[in-house]
Amino acid sequence: MEPEGKREKATFAAGCFWGVEAAFRGIPGVTETQVGYTGGQTTLPTYEQVCMDRTGHAEAVEVTFDPEKVSFAELLRIFWQIHDPTTPNRQGPDVGSQYRSAIFTHSDEQKRVAEESRAALDRSGRFRRPVVTEIVPAQAFWRAEEYHQRYLEKHGRASCHL
């Protein structure tokens, strides 16, 4: 991952954050990723609190990217491919609002592009059920505990349901 160039942030929730982070880490133009919690009410939530589905947070990935090398629209394309955006509060065997499908936007432009992308996906017929991904303004992002960062690089793909 190259650090030079302009930087923007994108934040995605699509189930277990380990696999979501791994999907974005190898994309040319992505300069950094970190897993954490966003969209909830608790300050400094822990993994245990979020897993109890009582804080309102989603497991999420904050992606830092160079928009001259990869567009937000391209990141959305990847986001739609790596999970089922039609299952509310669930991805595979993981159940709870912490596993919801969500895009946390960092600008009006990201909101516009995300809404257009979601509508196009819904119209495409790719899924039998409606897309339920929420699109909301980015809130405080709480970095997850260090052992969660780059988890699949440390432990292998067999550790994740994605």
Task: Point out the residues that are catalytic.
Answer: 16
Q: How far apart are CA 29 and CA 88, in angstroms?
A: 30
Residue 104 Cα to chain centre, angstroms:
8
Q: How far is CA 156 from CA 10, 63, 92, 110, 153, in A?
A: 25, 21, 18, 32, 6
Question: In the Cβ-directed half-sphere of 87, how many Cα atoms lie within 13 Å?
Answer: 16
Q: Is 85 helix (H, G, I), strand (E, B) or coil?
A: coil
Longest dimension (CA), the chain: 42
